[in-house]
Amino acid sequence: MRNTAIALVSLVIVFGGLAVAIVNAPNWPVVQTSFFDVPRIVESMPDLVDGFLTNVALFTIAEVLVLVVALIVAVVRSVPGPAFLPFRLLATIYTDVFRAVPGVVWIFFLGFGIPGLRIEGVPRDPFIWALVALVLIYSAYVSEVYRAGIESVHPSQEAAARSLGLSRLKALRFVVLPQAVRRVIPPLLNDFIGLQKDTVLVSFIGVVEVFRTAQIKQSGNFNWSYYIGVMLVYLVITIPMTRLVDWLVSRERRQRAAGGVR
Amino acid sequence: MTASMPPATTPPSTPPSTPAPTAARPALHIRGLHKSFGKLEVLRGIDLDVAEHEVVCLIGASGSGKSTLLRCINLLEAVDEGSITIDADEITALGVDVDRIRRRIGIVFQAFNLFPHMRVLDNVTLGPRRVLGTPRAEAERDATALLERFGLGDKIGEYPDRLSGGQQQRVAIVRALAMHPDLLLLDEITSALDPELVAEVLDVIRELAAGGMTMVIATHEMTFAREIASRVCFLDGGVVLEEGPPQQLFSEPREPRTRQFLQRIIEAGRL
């Protein structure tokens, strides 16, 4: 009870003090009109949300595709045997290259480069190429997450499955992957938060999404408040998701601690 | 014993091409088996025959190659040299379908190796459903019957984590039996159990032996080996140094190494 009271008083003093200091700073009025123009933010919100729907479409489709592509890459990298060497190599080169190069370079390269080839039948919609770029970049990261999960399942599990006569692929599908995927859900969601934020990068190749919408508005009247609107839209989506990931991680840790060493 | 013959221990039907079985058809032939891990040569020329319905116990110090031998029989380890034949079928031949072979050979591990993400019933039905293609309802009926027979009827819906070690090991045995194997390999299946849980697992093995299941058992339970084995093999330095009926091998071993080993076991109060 006493601690709660102290915490409250402390909160009021620190935050109140900060607020007073900021509002009374000599240049606060300029900052306020340029950054925190509430009427502008409110008025632009429908357009920003409309633009954000493009981001949502982009990351939703991308996430589904990433889950599949990354899994395939991870499985290819995990298949033993000399005959599969070229495929393992290809998958390794792919993950290395796509993780080593900044994402925005890939988005530029694919988004402008491929439509610029003017090849018959190849789509020129920047949305498509934005999607392809994001899927390729994030599949490289997520495949490593999957692979870590696959390698964390003890070899005795595969031995038990194979001893029943399950093929390598069936052992992977019914025994190894279900356990691996469960373990990697938190880091996987972390990568998805990154993907969701990186969807604004596609504004560079002419996809009109939330960031581009704010840019257009800002260039009209040199007011930066629209970007605060963008931040608000992102906070609403991203903060709950990070909290969910934190909760999943701590739950996983608790469960493992309860299970003890096996 | 009036219990009906369990399906898991039904002797394999004889293929029409092979001659009719005489007294005891050799189920398993091992000749000159070698296996190394890097520079360490674990098996240095194992010769072993196991006839149908025979229970062979492998004894020997830790590191004598008992587990490796069992893992080789189930092709979980690639053999370096030598051959393993089951019913005139050389399973160590090049290009052999290992999954087809493993279907006929069950193995139970020291550490159970149950699938933690599956309920007991699903652990048992995985093999029949995904390997043999048994329809779910039928596989579950069989599995339930087997689990009930070994006193696990009330654990069908549990996850392995919630079972005692003895129960987990019995589930693991049932999981192997559900494939109706011709041969069952048991790799020190009581070594990871608390002493009071050993008996319930050994009872299961007794019942299987009585039902005619062909088994190769790596074990440190000498009393049990003496009771259940048709033949005991003493492994030492990667070879079968001495083998014989349990009475002979335990009471009047020929080899000094065998005597030495048994002496140590007796001193440890395990025989």
Q: List the beta bridge partners of residue B240.
A: B235
Q: Which domains does chain A have, with CATH numbers?
A: 37-257 (1.10.3720.10)
Q: Tokens 């530029």 sit at which residue?
A: A108
Q: Do B102 and A159 touch (CB under 8 A)?
A: no
* pLDDT on residue B20: 42
CB-closest option in B111, B117, B131 to A164: B131
* pLDDT on residue B26: 57
* pLDDT greater at residue B261 or residue B27: B261
* pLDDT on residue A250: 84
Average pLDDT over residues B221-235: 93
Average pLDDT over residues B160-167: 92
A197 within 8 A of A231, measured Cβ to Cβ: no
Instruction: Determine the Cα–Cα distance for residues A77 and A79; give it in Å rounded to an integer.
Output: 6
Give B13's pLDDT tier (boundaries 50, 70, 90).
Answer: very low
Q: Do B126 and A161 touch (CB under 8 A)?
A: yes
* pLDDT on residue A78: 85
- Using a CB–CB cutoff of 8 Å, tell me whether A184 touches chain B: no
CB-closest option in B114, B115, B179 to A165: B179
Beta strands in A6-158 (DSSP E): none
The rounded percent of chain B whose pLDDT value lies above 90 is 73
Give A256's pLDDT tier (boundaries 50, 70, 90).
Answer: low
| Strands B231-236 and B239-244, bridge-based pairing | antiparallel
Closest CA to B42 of B78, B74, B92: B78
Kind plus residue range of the DSSP H or E element containing A140? helix A126-152
Looking at the complex, report in whole angstroms how far the Cα of residue A61 sits from the nearest Cα belonging to chain B: 29
* pLDDT on residue B4: 45
Q: Do B115 and A164 touch (CB under 8 A)?
A: no
* Chain B residues whose beta carbon lies within 8 Å of the beta carbon of residue A159: 76, 109, 113
B51 within 8 A of B59, measured Cβ to Cβ: no
* pLDDT on residue B233: 96
- Using a CB–CB cutoff of 8 Å, tell me whether A81 touches chain B: no
B238 dihedral zone (left: phi>0; alpha: psi -120 to 50; beta): left
Give B15's pLDDT tier (boundaries 50, 70, 90).
Answer: very low
Is pLDDT above 60 for A15?
A: yes
Average pLDDT over residues B111-115: 94
- A-contacting residues in B 23-82 (Cβ below 8 Å): 74, 76
Looking at the complex, report in whole angstroms how far the Cα of residue A168 sits from the nearest Cα belonging to chain B: 9
- B-contacting residues in A 145-174 (Cβ below 8 Å): 156-157, 159-167, 170, 174
* Chain A residues whose beta carbon lies within 8 Å of the beta carbon of residue B117: 178-179, 182
Instruction: Determine the Cα–Cα distance for residues A246 and A89; give it in Å rounded to an integer.
Output: 35
Q: What is the pLDDT of residues A188-245, one digit of tens each?
A: 999 999 999 999 999 999 899 999 999 999 988 888 999 999 999 999 989 998 898 8
* Chain B residues whose beta carbon lies within 8 Å of the beta carbon of residue A182: 117
* Chain A residues whose beta carbon lies within 8 Å of the beta carbon of residue B161: 259
CB-closest option in B103, B126, B161 to A174: B126
Is pLDDT above 70 for B2?
A: no
Give B25's pLDDT tier (boundaries 50, 70, 90).
Answer: low
Closest CA to B52 of B82, B13, B79, B5: B13
CB-closest option in B76, B115, B130 to A163: B76
- Using a CB–CB cutoff of 8 Å, tell me whether A175 touches chain B: yes
What pTM, to 2 d.p., does this model score? 0.81
* pLDDT on residue B30: 94
* Chain A residues whose beta carbon lies within 8 Å of the beta carbon of residue B109: 156, 159-160
* pLDDT greater at residue A124 or residue A57: A57
Give A253's pLDDT tier (boundaries 50, 70, 90).
Answer: confident
The CA radius of gyration of chain A, in Å to the nearest whole number, is 24
Closest CA to B185 of B224, B228, B215: B215
Looking at the complex, report in whole angstroms how far the Cα of residue B127 sits from the nearest Cα belonging to chain A: 6
Average pLDDT over residues A149-174: 94
Test the A interface: residue of B103, B110, B117 with most A CBs within 10 Å: B117
Is pLDDT above 90 for A172?
A: yes
Q: What is the pLDDT of residues A112-150, one digit of tens each?
A: 998 888 888 888 888 999 999 999 999 999 999 999 999
Mean pLDDT computed over every residue of chain A: 91
Mean pLDDT computed over every residue of chain B: 88
| Torsions phi, psi for B244 (to 5 deg) | 170, 175
The rounded percent of chain B whose pLDDT value lies above 70 is 90
**DSSP letters of A64-99?**
HHHHHHHHHHHHHHH--SGGGHHHHHHHHHHHHHHH
Instruction: Determine the Cα–Cα distance for residues B117 and A164; give it in Å rounded to an integer.
Output: 17
Give B16's pLDDT tier (boundaries 50, 70, 90).
Answer: very low
Q: Do A159 and B114 touch (CB under 8 A)?
A: no
State the complex-level ipTM: 0.85
CB-closest option in A157, A165, A178 to B102: A165
Give A249's pLDDT tier (boundaries 50, 70, 90).
Answer: confident
Q: Which domains does chain B have, with CATH numbers?
A: 25-267 (3.40.50.300)
Looking at the complex, report in whole angstroms how far the Cα of residue B45 sits from the nearest Cα belonging to chain A: 24
Give A258's pLDDT tier (boundaries 50, 70, 90).
Answer: low
* pLDDT on residue A163: 95
